[in-house]
Structure 1
Amino acid sequence: MSLKLYPMPRRIDVQDGPAPRPQAEVVVAHDPDLPPQGYRLDYGPTTRLTYADEAGLRYAQQTLDQLRGTPMTEQQAVHIEDWPDFARRGFMLDISRDRVPTRAGLRRLVEVLAQARYNHLELYTEHSFAYPGHEEVWQDASPLTGEDLRWLDDLCAARGIELVPNQNTFGHWERWLAHDSYRFRAENPEPQEFAGTLRPPSTLAPTEENARFITGLLEDLVPHFRSDRLNIGADETWELGTGESRARAEQEGLGTVFLDYVERVARPWTSRGHRVEFWSDILGSHPELMARLPEGTVPVVWLYDSPEHIATVIDRMSEKELAFSQAHGVDPEELRSFATRAQALIDADVPFWVAPGTGTWLSFVGRLDNALGNITDAALTGAEHGSEGFLLTSWGDCGHYDPLVISYAPILFGGAASWSLESNRELTHHLDGLLDRLIFMDEACVLGSALVQIGRVADALDAKTANSSPLFRAVQQPGTLEPHHVPSEDSLEAARRTLDTALEALQDARPAAPEGPVAVAETAQAIRWARFGVDLLRSGLVPGAEQNHGSSRAARRLLSRFDQLVAEQRRTWLLSSRPGGLDTSIDRFQPVRRFLVAASSERS
Structure 2
Amino acid sequence: MRLLPMPKEMILKEGSFTILPNTEIVLDASCNSTDLQAALELKKEIVDGLKIDINVNKSLKKENNSIYLRKAKGNSECYKLTVYKEGIEIEAADEAGLFYGIQTLRQIIRNHGVCIPALVINDEPYFAFRGFYHDVTRGKVPTLETLKELADRAAFYKLNQIQLYVEHTFAFKNLTEVWMGADPLTAEEIILFDEYCKQRHIELVPSLSTFGHLYMALRNKSFRHLCELEIEDKPYSWYDRMAHHTLDVSNPESIDFVKNMLEEFIPLFSSDKFNICCDETFDLGEGKNKALADKVGKGQLYVNFLNKVIDIVKAQDKKVMFWGDIILHHPELFDQIPKDVICLNWNYAADPVEINVEIMAKSGLQQYVCPGVGGWNMIMNSFESAFPNIKTMVNHGKKHKAVGVLNTDWGDYGHINLFGNSMPGMIYGAALSWNPDYDEEFSKVDESISLLEYGDKTESLVGILREISRQQTVNHGEIVWWKDNKFLGFPEISEEKKKEYFTTDNEKVIKAHDRALELSEELIKVSREVSSLRTIDIEEFYVSARGVALLNALSLIIRKYDFGREGSALIYSPKEMASLLEKWIADYSKVWRERNKESELYRIRDFYMDICDYLKTL
What TM-score results when the alignment is normalised by the length of structure 1?
0.84
Distance 1:590 1:354, change over 3 A: farther
Identify which of 198, 203, 210 aligns with 2:246.
Answer: 203
Could you say which residue in structure 2 is the equivalent of 1:401? 416
**Aligned partners of 2:570 and 2:4: how far apart in 1?**
52
Give the structure 2 partner of residue 492 of structure 1: 509
Other structure's SS at 2:348 match: coil
Structure 1 residues 494 and 422 mapped into 2: Cα distance closer, same or farther (>3 Å)? farther
Identify if the C-alpha distance between structure 1 residues 363 and 263 changes in structure 2 by more than 3 Å, giving closer, same or farther.
same
| Alpha carbons 1:474, 1:542 under 8 Å: kept | no
Specify the alignment match of 1:373 in structure 2: 388
Q: In structure 1, how many angstroms separate the alpha carbons of the residues matched to 2:229 and 2:610?
A: 27
Does the CA-based 8 Å contact 1:409-1:431 persist in structure 2? Answer: no
* Residue 15 of structure 1, CA deviation: 2.7
The alignment partner of 1:363 has SS state of coil
**Which whole-Å deviations, capped at 9, do the CAs of 1:431-476 have from their partners, x for residues lacking one?**
4444443333356766544323313434xx6xxxxxxxx3324433
The separation in 1 between residues aligned to 2:425 and 2:131, in whole angstroms, is 13
Match of 1:533 in 2: 551
Pair 1:289–1:590, CA change in 2 (3 A) = farther
Letter in structure 2 aligned against 1:498: R
Tell me how large the CA RMSD over aligned residues is: 2.8
Find the counterpart in structure 2 of residue 4 from structure 1. Answer: 2
Contact 2:478–2:501 (Cα < 8 Å) also in 1: no
* 1:262-273 aligned within 5 A: 262-273=306-317
Structure 2 partner of 1:122? 163
For 2:561 and 2:393, the matched residues in 1 are separated by 36
Q: Does 1:575 align with 2:594?
A: yes
CA distance in 1, matches of 2:154, 2:233: 40
Aligned residues: 552
Classify 1:203/1:587 alpha carbon distance in 2 versus 1 (closer, same or farther; 3 Å): farther
Distance (Å, rounded) in 1 between the aligned partners of 2:90 and 2:535:
38
What amino acid is the match of 2:129? R
Letter in 2 for 1:255: G
Quote the offset at 1:226 in angstroms. 1.0
State the Cα distance separating 1:561 from its structure 2 match: 2.0
The correspondence of residues 304-383 of structure 1 with structure 2, limited to 5 A, is 304-307=348-351, 337-383=352-398
Q: After superposition, what is the alpha-carbon deviation per residue over 1:246-297, rounded to whole angstroms, capped at 9, x for unaligned?
A: 2322222211111111111111222343111111111000010112222432
Quote how far apart the aligned CAs of 1:590 are. 5.9
* Residues 121-167 of structure 1 deviation map (CA, whole Å, 9 limit, x = unaligned): 11100100000021111120010001111111111111111111111
Instruction: Give the letter for the 1:98 counterpart.
Output: G
Cα deviations by residue, 1:105-134 (Å, 9 ceiling, x for unpaired): 222211111112111011100100000021
Mapping of residues 126-141 of structure 1, within 5 Å: 126-141=167-182
Q: Could you say if the C-alpha distance between residues 455 and 238 of structure 1 is closer, same or farther in structure 2, counting changes exceeding 3 Å?
A: same
Deviation (angstroms), 1:52:
3.6
Counterpart in the other structure of 2:466: 452
Alpha-carbon distance between aligned partners in 2 of 1:54 and 1:223, rounded to the nearest angstrom: 25
Question: What is the aligned partner in structure 1 of residue 72 from structure 2?
Answer: 30
Change (3 A) 1:67 1:575: closer
Relative distance call for 1:53 and 1:27 in structure 2 (3 A) is: closer
Partner in structure 2 of residue 437 of structure 1:
451
Query: 1:290·1:345 contact (CA, 8 Å) conserved in 2?
Result: no
Whether contact under 8 Å (2:139, 2:599) holds in the other structure is yes
- TM-aligned CA distance change 1:259 to 1:523, over 3 Å: same
Change in Cα spacing, 1:441 to 1:179, as seen in structure 2 (3 Å) is same
Tell me the amino acid that sits aligned with residue 70 of structure 2: V
Q: Give, in angstroms, the shift of residue 97 of structure 1.
A: 0.9
| Correspondence for 1:240 | 284
Q: Which runs of 5+ in 2 are unaligned?
A: 24-64, 487-492
CA 1:92–1:198: 2 relative to 1, 3 Å = closer
Does the aligned pair in 2 maintain the 1:365–1:526 contact within 8 Å? yes
Q: State the alpha-carbon separation in 1 of the partners of residues 458 and 14 from structure 2.
A: 35
Distance in structure 1 (CA, Å) of the matches to 2:441 and 2:196: 28
Amino acid at match of 2:84: G
Question: 568, 581, 597: which one pairs with 1:549?
Answer: 568
- Residues in 2 aligned to 1:218 and 1:252: alpha-carbon distance in whole angstroms: 28
Partner of 1:216: 260
User: SS of the residue aligned with 1:244?
Assistant: coil
Q: Alpha-carbon deviation of 1:551?
A: 7.4
Tell me how far apart the structure 1 counterparts of residues 83 and 71 of structure 2 sit (CA, whole Å): 14
| Alpha-carbon distance between aligned partners in 2 of 1:440 and 1:71, rounded to the nearest angstrom | 15
CA contact (8 A) 1:177 1:186 kept: yes
Separation of aligned partners in 2, 1:584 and 1:366? 21
Question: 1:551 & 1:62 partners in 2: Cα distance?
Answer: 50
Structure 2 SS opposite 1:243? coil
- C-alpha contact 1:43 1:79 (8 A) present in aligned 2: yes
1:98–1:580 contact (8 Å) kept in structure 2: yes
Distance 1:209 1:198, change over 3 A: closer
What secondary structure, in the 3-state scheme, does the structure 2 residue paired with 1:98 have?
coil
Cα deviations across residues 493-526 of structure 1 (Å, max 9, x unaligned)?
A: 4422431222112333136645533222222211
Aligned to 1:320: none
Instruction: Output aligned runs, 1:271-286, within 5 Å.
Output: 271-286=315-330
Q: Is the 8 A contact 1:20 1:44 kept in 2?
A: no
Find the residue that maps to 1:15 and give its secondary structure.
Answer: strand
Q: Secondary structure at the match of 1:128?
A: coil
Counterpart check, 1:521 vs 2:539: yes
The answer to whether residue 63 in structure 2 is matched with residue 44 in structure 1 is: no
Q: Is there any run of 5+ residues in structure 1 with no aligned partner, and where?
A: 308-336, 462-469
SS in 2 for 1:77: strand
Secondary structure, aligned partner of 1:90: strand
Correspondence list, 1:61-100, <5 A: 61-67=102-108, 70-71=111-112, 75-100=116-141
Checking the alignment, whether the CA contact within 8 Å between 2:2 and 2:452 is kept in structure 1 is: no
Is 2:615 the partner of 1:596? Answer: yes
Query: Is 1:166 paired with 2:183?
Result: no
Distance 1:541 1:97 in 2: 32
Contact 1:186 1:201 in 2 (8 A): no
Kept in 2: contact 1:44–1:77 (CA 8 A): yes
Query: 3-state DSSP class of the match of 2:304?
Result: helix
